[in-house]
Amino acid sequence: MLHPPPSLFFTCSRCRIRLFKPSKRKYASAATQHVAARQKLPDSPARTRFAPSPTGYLHLGSLRTALFNYLLAKRTGGQFLLRLEDTDRKRTVADAEKRLYEDLRWAGLQWDEGPEVGGPYGPYRQSERTHIYHKHAQDLLQTPHAYRCFCTSERLHNLASERSKLGLPTDYDRTCAGIPKDQSDERAANGEAHVIRLKVPERTPIYTDIVYGKVGKNVKPVRRTDEAYDDPILLKSDGFPTYHLANVVDDHLMQITHVVRGTEWMNATPKHMALYSAFGWEPPHFAHVGLLVDENGNKLSKRNFDTDVASFRDRMKILPDALTNFVALLGWSHTVGKDLMSMEQLIENFTVKWTKGNVTVSLGKLWFLQNKHAISHVSQGTATVDRLVADIYEVVKALPDHAQVENRFDDAGWKSYVARILKLDVKNYTSPSNFVAQNSHFFLPYSGSPIPSDERNDVVSSKLKTLVQMENVDWTPETLKQEIHSMVTTVAANDVAEKEGGRIVHEYLRRVFAGGQRGPGMADTMAILGREECSRRLDHVTMS
C-alpha cells in the first residue's frame, strides 16, 4: 500500500493532532481551521441571557451585549433570557428596572423568559434566589473546593495594605483554609461572621473563547514564599452571593449554552471555569467582545460620551431600528455586503464572527443609518412615519416665530402638512431639529428679500402672477412642472440658452417661495405651500 509522504502532514501546535494538508493554496492553515471551527454557529438552539444590574440605566455597551445574545438565540431558533442581578442593594437605582424593560422593548429586544414574562427556571431576580445560592455554597463546603473564611474586614484590609507596601500581591493568604471542618461548622453554628470562598485549583483552568481562542495556560503556578491566593468570595457575610457564584449557578440551572459579554470579564472567566469544575458542571461557550471606546481610545463614559439609550431615543430622536443596526455593527464582522439591516435581516445574517480588540464608536455611521431607516419607513408607509411626523411637529411648534403662522392649520392639518414635506425630503432626514432647520421656509413666516428687476426676472414674475390667478389650473406638482417648463421656454426664447433659462427661472422661484433655501424641487414646494401662500409670497416680493 502506498502512503502519502510526510510532507503532506502537519501537526497542530494547539491540539497536537496530525492533519492532512495536500496543498497550501487549497487548504487553510491549522490556525484558520481552528478559527472557523470555533466561529461556527451552533447546530442546536442556543439559550442566551442578558443579566444586567439595576444600578444604572441601559447604555450603549449593555445594549450591544443584550443584542448579540438576542441575535444568537434568534438565529439558531433558541431562547433569549433576561435575568436581573439585583443583589447590590446599596447601589440599586429606584427606577432602573422599569427603565430597563422600556429600553429593551423599545429597541425590539423582547425576552422569552424573565421578569414580567415568567418561565420554567424562575425566579429571574437574583434577590429572590438566595436560598438556591445558599444550598449550592453549602454543597461546595462538603468538597475540598470551598472553605469558610472568618477573617474580619480589618484583618483583610491590613493584610492587603502590608502586602501592597512590600510590592507583593494583595490576594488572600488562606489563613482560614486550614481550619478543620468540625471547627468551621461549629463556629458557623455559633453565629460567627464569615464568608465562603472558592479554593482555586493549583492549575489554572483554560477555555476556548469564540473570539480569542485558547485562553489561559494549564500549568501549575510557581510556588512562592509570599503565598497569596486569588480565592474569590462566593457567599458574603450578609448571606448574599457574589457575582461569581450567582452567575455560574444561574447559568447552569437556566441551561444557558452561550455567554456573550465584554472583555472586561475575561479575567474573571478562569474563576468561573474553576467553579464549574468544582460543581462538576459543563460550562457554556464564552465569547468576549471588545470594549467600546471613543475616537481617542478612551472607554466610553458619561464624562466623554452620553451613552444612555434613553438619550439616543428621547434627546437625539434616533429610530430604534437605526440604533440596533448601529450597535450590531460595533465589533461584528459580517459579509453581507451592506450595513443597512432591519432586525429581521440582522437575525437572518447573524454569525458569531467578532473582531478582536476594542471598538471605536463614531456617530457618523449612526446618522447614516438613521437616514436610511427613515427613508425605508417612509417608502413602506410604516407606523414609524407617524412617530417621525409627531417629532417634527413638536419642533415646529417650539419655533419662536411659529405663532405667527400656526393658524394656517389645526393640529391634524399641520401633521398632514409635515407628512407631505417629510415624504418629499426624507432623503435629507437625520433628526427632527435638523429637518425643520433645513426646511424652515415651510414652517415660518415669509422672510424673503427683494429680487432685482430685470428683463428676465420680470418675465418670470409676470408668468407667476398670471399662474396664481388662474383658478382653473390644478395646483399639483405635475401641472406646476409643466408651467415651470413653460417659463423656462419663454425666458430661453429671449436669446438665452435653455440651460441658462432653467437656472434663471429656478433661482427666481427658490428665492420667492423658499427664501433661497435648498430643499425639494420647486413644483413640489409650490404644491405643498398651496396657491394662496404662493400668491402671498409673490406679493411680498413685488411690494418689497
- Residue given cell 431562547 in the structure block: 79
> What are the cell numbers at 169?
500581591
Residue at 302 is within a domain: no
Residue at 500 is within a domain: yes
Q: Are residues 383 and 422 in the same domain?
A: yes
What is the distance between the alpha carbons of residues 80 and 321, in angstroms, rounded to a whole number?
A: 19
Q: Are residues 69 and 198 in the same domain?
A: yes
Residues 6+ apart with CB under 8 A from 413: none
pTM for the model: 0.88
Other beta carbons within 10 Å of 18? 10
- Residue given cell 405651500 in the structure block: 529
Whether residue 432 contacts residue 391, with contact meaning beta carbons closer than 8 Å, is answered with yes
Among candidates 85, 72, 27, 19, which has minimal Cα distance to 346?
Answer: 72
Whether residue 307 contacts residue 65, with contact meaning beta carbons closer than 8 Å, is answered with no
CA angle 25, 29, 34 (to 5 degrees): 140
**Residues 132-154, buried b or exposed e (16+ Cβ, 10 A)?**
bbbebbeebbeeebbbbbbbeee
Residue at 401 is within a domain: yes
Residues 6+ apart with CB under 8 A from 78: 44, 45, 46, 47, 48, 72, 257
Residue at 295 is within a domain: no
Q: Are residues 75 and 200 in the same domain?
A: yes
Residue at 300 is within a domain: no
Q: Are residues 366 and 486 in the same domain?
A: no
> What are the cell numbers at 151?
477573617
Is residue 302 among the annotated active site residues?
yes
CATH number at residue 527: 1.10.10.350
Q: Are residues 25 and 82 in the same domain?
A: no
Tens of each residue's pLDDT in the chain, 544 residues = 445 555 545 555 444 445 445 554 444 566 677 677 888 999 999 999 999 999 999 999 999 999 999 999 999 999 999 999 998 878 889 999 999 999 999 999 999 999 999 999 999 999 999 999 999 999 999 999 999 999 999 999 999 999 889 888 888 999 999 999 999 999 999 999 999 999 999 887 789 999 999 987 665 544 444 567 889 999 999 999 999 999 999 999 999 999 999 999 999 999 999 999 999 999 999 999 999 998 888 888 766 667 899 999 999 999 999 999 999 999 999 989 999 999 999 999 999 999 999 999 999 999 999 999 999 999 999 999 999 999 999 999 999 988 888 888 999 999 999 999 999 999 999 999 999 999 999 998 876 667 877 888 888 989 999 999 988 889 999 999 999 999 999 888 876 788 888 898 999 999 999 988 889 999 999 999 999 999 999 988 766 5
Instruction: Report pLDDT for 424.
Output: 96
Choose the final residue of a domain: 287, 303, 328.
287
Query: Is residue 123 reached through a cis peptide bond, with omega within 30 degrees of 0 on the bond before it?
Result: yes
What is the distance between the alpha carbons of residues 254 and 269, in angstroms, rounded to a whole number?
A: 18
Q: Which residues pair with 286 in a beta bridge?
A: 209, 259
What is the distance between the alpha carbons of residues 539 and 512, in angstroms, rounded to a whole number?
A: 10
CATH number at residue 283: 3.40.50.620
Choose the final residue of a domain: 443, 477, 495.
443
- 241-247 own/partner pairs: CB under 8 Å, 24+ apart: 241/87, 241/126, 241/130, 241/133, 241/137, 243/85, 243/268, 244/198, 244/268, 244/271, 244/272, 244/275, 245/133, 245/136, 245/137, 245/275, 246/85, 246/87, 246/126, 246/129, 246/133, 247/51, 247/85, 247/272
Instruction: Report pLDDT for 302.
Output: 62
Domain count, the chain: 4
- CA-to-CA separations, 105 to 74, 108, 495, in angstroms, rounded: 15, 5, 64
The single residue of 40, 135, 217, 302 carrying the catalytic annotation is: 302
- Residue given cell 413602506 in the structure block: 380
Choose the final residue of a domain: 390, 411, 443.
443
Instruction: Name the E strands within 22-74.
Output: 47-50
Among candidates 448, 453, 456, 423, which has minimal Cα distance to 525?
Answer: 423
Q: Are residues 476 and 508 in the same domain?
A: yes
What is the distance between the alpha carbons of residues 537 and 483, in angstroms, rounded to a whole number?
A: 18
Phi and psi, residue 472, nearest 5°? -80, -5
Residue at 292 is within a domain: no
Among candidates 328, 337, 431, which has minimal Cα distance to 66?
Answer: 328
Residue at 299 is within a domain: no
Query: β-strands 146-149, 79-82: how paired?
Result: unpaired
Q: Are residues 51 and 32 in the same domain?
A: no
Q: Are residues 219 and 329 in the same domain?
A: no
Dihedral, CA of residue 99, residue 102, residue 103 and residue 109, to nearest 10? 140
Q: Are residues 232 and 328 in the same domain?
A: no
Q: Are residues 480 and 423 in the same domain?
A: no
Among candidates 315, 317, 369, which has minimal Cα distance to 342?
Answer: 369
Q: Are residues 34 and 51 in the same domain?
A: no
Full residue range of the structural domain in which residue 60 is found: 47-287
Residue at 493 is within a domain: yes
CATH number at residue 423: 1.10.1160.10
What is the distance between the alpha carbons of residues 402 and 478, in angstroms, rounded to a whole number?
A: 30
Instruction: Report pLDDT for 357.
Output: 93
Q: Are residues 32 and 55 in the same domain?
A: no
- Residue given cell 478562569 in the structure block: 270
